[in-house]
Amino acid sequence: MEKPSLKQDFLKKLWIWWNRDRKVLTLKAGLVALLPILCCIAACAAQGGSLSQVCLPASEWNDELFYYKQVEGILSHGYPQGYFGFNESHALKFSFAAWSPVLVWPWLLYGLVAGWNLMAPIYSNILFLTLALFLFVLLTKPDWKQLGLLAFLFCCFMPYTRYMLCGMPEIICFSMLIVYWGVLVRTTEKETVGKVALLFLLGGIMTLMRPYLILFLLAPSWLWIRRRRAAGLAGSLAVVGAVGGGYMLIKHYLGAAYFTPLFKTEWLNPFLQGHILTGIKGVLAKIYYEGRTFLALTLQGFKSGLAEGAFFAIFLAMLLILLWQFLADLRKKNKKQALLNGYLAFCFFSMWMALLLMYKMKEGSKHLLTFMAVGIMAIALMETRFYKKAVIIGALCVYLFWYQGDQPGDYQIYFANRERTEQLAYWKQAFAEEMALREENPPNFDNVVIWTFNDVLADSGNGETALTDWQVLYALPEGWGISCCYREYVEEHLERLQSLYLTIPVGGELQRSCEALGMEQVGQDGRVCVYRTR
């Protein structure tokens, strides 16, 4: 009998391996990977629309505009040709806004392959979370019960679906951390140098995106130190230091100054001045008073559905469940699971303290969502006889998000409407006729449009204000920068604004001033007008 070739032998073993281990696992991964698109379709239908009708310019979340136009500028010109900033601030290098441009790198990859248009953020978000769930199941190998719990919790946790259907980069963070957690779970089963290196890579990229995700560099550091002792300690410190330093350089050189500092750091001053005891007292006092505010908002979430309160409530519940399971794992002497749940509980607690010390409550609440997104995965995988932990979290999500969550600005999916569509069509033509990028020494202020936050209506008599329809700036040609400015700044600097164009509400005091100064009008609709400043 002829001896099988090496190729035939390899294919036979591959087929046996596939039939024995991978067929059912791939089926599980494929089923879970359907959840993002199914949830998006169901959520759109529940709110009276369809996935294809989701419309970024109809949204009231203005951060989406900055992210969208910056990505557009990078894809079309390498970097935006005009500055993004606040009150005409700008980065020392290039033209990005206050947040790390590393945050949007997956969108750039998607845009290079599939193009960039108003639906690209939505479709790419769905794709990223689909791939993350698929990989997570392949890495963690859940049984059917765990798979059911994962599907149940995924559907209950509304932020997954809401953030897929918008132009915010939260899904990018969710997806990367979910994959990271899958790799970490796999590493605890069988540790290899390659897996530890991959954890460092994922943790490093996530830290360059959002600085608090440096917490997830601690796990690979501990694994390396355990394996190589002194060499691992030195190497881990070098990696963490390099990544942390990299973020500081990005923030310093590529970030425009925001209206106010992004982080509250005044509590550090006593420590820097050598007053250690005073510093400790100050930290404890700040945690106490901010903690009271945190708990008050949490109760408000239960009473009225306040979005940040809902986030806080579910975050605290997840932290308590992680601690509960950690203690249960220790009692059962399940060391690997105890380490995983204890580590995630530590990350949750550390982020909670960071929120109390450094963030504004409303803005900071959204940063908790990334931790909660991976908390869903961890709770679904818990080795437990009953379903009570998953049921608790699922019930909280249903009550706070689906029953109490009726605030349009936080939970509404925005669909295209005739008024906005016609408005954008008008401004796209007006901008195309007037605006041509100045290619000399970009980025420059000749390629910047000011978006004035609001203005006082000239004939109101009682100081009534009108917000600017900033959504029209989606119609700007590729490469233009946007500077968000307070009315007071524009009013004070009107005759010496650096930016070439100014967007303001119709009928406001600023429009009267622009007309009095003889500024040329680019266009005007029923709500917003744009002037050339020089």
Read off the pLDDT band of 24 (50, 70, 90): confident
Q: Does any domain span residue 356?
A: no
pLDDT tens sequence across 253-305: 999 999 888 888 888 898 888 889 999 999 999 999 999 999 999 999 998 88
Whether 76 shows a pLDDT value over 60: the answer reads yes
CA distance 525 to 81: 27
The whole domain housing 518 covers: 56-103+417-534
CA distance 399 to 323: 23
Which SS3 state, helix, strand or coil, does residue 447 take? helix
Whether 491 shows a pLDDT value over 60: the answer reads yes
User: Which pLDDT does position 180 carry in this prediction?
Assistant: 98
- Which pTM was predicted? 0.93
Read off the pLDDT band of 400 (50, 70, 90): very high
Whether 361 shows a pLDDT value over 60: the answer reads yes
Q: Does any domain span residue 274?
A: no
Q: What domain count does the chain have?
A: 1
Dihedral sign of CA atoms 109, 111, 112, 114 in order:
positive
Q: What stretch of H or E contains 187?
A: helix 170-189
Alpha carbon 341 to chain centroid, angstroms: 24
Q: Does any domain span residue 220?
A: no
Alpha carbons within 13 A on the beta-carbon side of 372: 28
CB 393 within 8 A of CB 376: yes
User: Which pLDDT does position 13 carry in this prediction?
Assistant: 61
Q: Does any domain span residue 492?
A: yes
Place of tokens 């917490």: 215
CA distance 492 to 300: 39
- The DSSP bridge pattern shows strands 465-467 and 454-456 to be antiparallel
13 or 353, higher pLDDT: 353
Q: Does any domain span residue 499?
A: yes
Token readout for 507 is 């009928």
Per the prediction, the chain carries an average pLDDT of 92
Q: Does any domain span residue 71?
A: yes
Read off the pLDDT band of 383 (50, 70, 90): confident
CA distance 311 to 81: 38
User: Which pLDDT does position 263 carry in this prediction?
Assistant: 84
User: Which pLDDT does position 409 carry in this prediction?
Assistant: 74
Q: Does any domain span residue 463?
A: yes
Whether 184 shows a pLDDT value over 70: the answer reads yes
CA distance 66 to 92: 18
User: Which pLDDT does position 15 carry in this prediction?
Assistant: 61
